[in-house]
Structure 1
């Protein structure tokens, strides 16, 4: 990788580092991920998130490990309504498997070899009775024995550990108020913990890198209802990925409970977790409560993002330079497109109410997002705003985008056609072309 690529990558990830710092992520690490060759890289990446100031709750599952242990001891895995039936013999093995995995994950998070990303990380991993369980009981005459569900989450206890920059580690076995232990699913624990903590993200892993469409391409973003349709279809398919189904169950419930983003990423692709969280377009599938990209009015808090967007265009002479102070005074005139907290497009509508005219100005779209007609989307929004204000005309000044405006119905005009105040400000050295759109 050339130096410039490293620098570009680092700069691109910086806004996400800032955005994620101090946030709470619940990571659901299924047993399927732990048998992958890339498991060590996943642990390293989770440790890196912790070192960047992200609060991590790591919930691990053990479904394949438990089934393997049962098979080795001649015990059949029993299920009723897709829920494991945990009798005495099975539960003895489950506790052994879960305990061994907890020690293994803790040991891996404690590594500090000089040739690993965890060198000098000094991560504290905390496990405890943060989840209180209760038995599932009997259903349709089937006794679930030691299978249980979440009764209560110790939210205050978890937050105390997260505030100390500890990784909170939870497994599939939890105690009850009666002093018994029960076998729970990792997806239920992850969902309940994320919901009760009001986590910012829930993250899961799958063998196939995300949810795929009919063409085999990964779907970048799904709303909960669409994800549920896919989940129900997968449940009817023999051999469907268990980890994917488990995550979909958890993500749909978490999204409907208010968790903004649930990410599903590959458990085998090196660095998939980091690419999903620290790049603009990600690499896996998001289950979202609202679209990652939205058009809205700008606020004073958007000044920095707008400046980052327009400065390169000002330096190229494509936009007239605006100071921070000027932007602060004019921010109410701006609309923007935001994607995951980043400003990727903006435009302004400057009023000339005396002549019932508006100016379309300061159109800018991030270079990585210029292939999806976002400029047109901003123009249509400004036109709508101008019509709401009963303007008769919308005009624009440009030096390079003449044909784009003509394609959108604008016509070339003269300086004399501008509002009087704008005529006085017209820069004859810049020689911008004047275009206008009739709104009547």
Structure 2
């Protein structure tokens, strides 16, 4: 049994390591819906957050309290009132909100204070600090509706939060803000988390919600292993928002999506919508490549660039399967290291998804494009085109008149993109000497 465990644990831990390195020193703002706490998920969420913090991540935790406030109102014989998807906070609702927030803060602090042996919290010290970090203003009267003590974020005390995080503490925020006159305003967890993430320029904004994530086309059949879109480019998310009705319920598609889009537009690189119903959702999203929820990502994160020595390992990993099945000629590490400045790559989130190399033959005014490879995960998304265009630009900048490729499998892809087939005798003398007549590669040329 232990041998089997060793064989699964070691590769798993090694696969997680790059993400541990990647996230160390980063800032995450995590918004937990009040429903998650009502569903009894606090204990496990606290353990996972403590674990993430122990790996060097700075965490701002914002809790919601929608069901807890409604429970307090019901106990007092009052009905919750909403308009435009926002609670109308009269004086009774404000009292209930303050009671619910106080209760929840104690529960959250208690969850982070555990240290029983044989639990994930053993040996952990998580200092949780709350404070008056949010200045608020009233929502006021909208379309004739007076929102009374409901407010919006006016200002975030960035310096105060940053100093607290730098001390190694976790910052805990309730959805409350205070005016310069000392009035308290009831805010929404979603707006507080989004404003704080934007002001801090956090690396991630993560919402733990009732919804399992987002599917662009709800009518498309969901595959068993991918019932949601795990990654949504910002442009696609904005289009989806424009087509969605105004959200009034937390389960509405646009309810969390609108905040994720706002955060991305204001400089937060990645926003996530995760289901709290899945145990370990936070760990799965942060430390596993495909994650478990939907990540809204600014396309600028995908970088088309020339390769450096640090990319050798990633290029080898990308091309290896294609060398094994004979699509590409085998290249060893030494060759790639020697020629690394010939390579152009597409790097997304620290992973190389496409590459190609340019070998010039200046005396013949041409260059070979070699090792054009696109990861199976991103085929059909235009990555091959992007790399080809960049290679063409590089060749033109060298004053070359054409580029050529040798291929045994992908002739049609190149012909569609302006290449024409020529006889191998066309090749520059130096390249002809290295031509493998057994492989019978087709030679295709494109004029620049």
TM-score tier (shorter): 0.7 to 0.9
Q: 1:123 to 1:373 in 2, by over 3 A?
A: same
Q: 1:375 to 1:69 in 2, by over 3 A?
A: closer
Residue 71 (structure 2) pairs with residue 68 (structure 1): yes
Among 221, 226, 234, the alignment partner of 2:231 is: 221
Among 401, 408, 428, the alignment partner of 1:419 is: 428
Instruction: Provide the secondary structure at the position in 1 that maps to 2:61.
Output: strand
Match of 1:436 in 2: 443
Match of 2:136 in 1: 133
Contact 2:249–2:255 under 8 Å retained in 1: no
Structure 1 runs not aligned, ≥5 long: none
Which whole-Å deviations, capped at 9, do the CAs of 1:189-223 have from their partners, x for residues lacking one? Answer: 11111111011110112223101232353122334
Match of 1:319 in 2: 330
Among 369, 377, 381, the alignment partner of 1:369 is: 377
Match of 1:341 in 2: 350
Instruction: Provide the secondary structure at the position in 1 that maps to 2:299.
Output: coil
Instruction: Provide the secondary structure at the position in 2 that maps to 1:323.
Output: helix
Match of 1:258 in 2: 267
Contact 1:146–1:181 under 8 Å retained in 2: yes
Q: 1:304 to 1:159 in 2, by over 3 A?
A: farther
Q: Distance in 2 between matches of 1:111 and 1:72?
A: 31
In the TM superposition, 1:298-313 aligns within 5 A as 298-299=307-308, 302-303=311-312, 305-306=314-315, 309=318
Residue-pair matches, total: 429
Q: 1:291 to 1:116 in 2, by over 3 A?
A: farther
Match of 2:171 in 1: 168
Residue 81 of structure 1: CA displacement? Answer: 3.1
Residue 166 (structure 2) pairs with residue 157 (structure 1): no
Q: Please give the TM-score of this superposition, normalised by the length of structure 1.
A: 0.84
Contact 1:412–1:433 under 8 Å retained in 2: no
Which whole-Å deviations, capped at 9, do the CAs of 1:110-156 have from their partners, x for residues lacking one? Answer: 22223332221211111111112233334455443322222221111
Structure 2 runs not aligned, ≥5 long: none
Contact 1:413–1:434 under 8 Å retained in 2: no
Contact 1:350–1:360 under 8 Å retained in 2: yes
Q: 1:79 to 1:238 in 2, by over 3 A?
A: closer
Match of 1:277 in 2: 286
Residue 301 of structure 1: CA displacement? Answer: 5.1
Match of 2:31 in 1: 28
Residue 271 of structure 1: CA displacement? Answer: 2.0
Contact 1:47–1:109 under 8 Å retained in 2: yes
Q: 1:35 to 1:291 in 2, by over 3 A?
A: farther
Q: 1:15 to 1:344 in 2, by over 3 A?
A: farther
Contact 1:349–1:382 under 8 Å retained in 2: no
The Cα RMSD (Å) is 3.4
Match of 1:403 in 2: 409
Residue 229 of structure 1: CA displacement? Answer: 4.9
Moved more, 49-58 or 404-413: 404-413
Q: Please give the TM-score of this superposition, normalised by the length of structure 2.
A: 0.83
Match of 2:180 in 1: 177
Q: 1:351 to 1:6 in 2, by over 3 A?
A: same
Q: Distance in 2 between matches of 1:165 and 1:78?
A: 40
Contact 2:48–2:283 under 8 Å retained in 1: yes
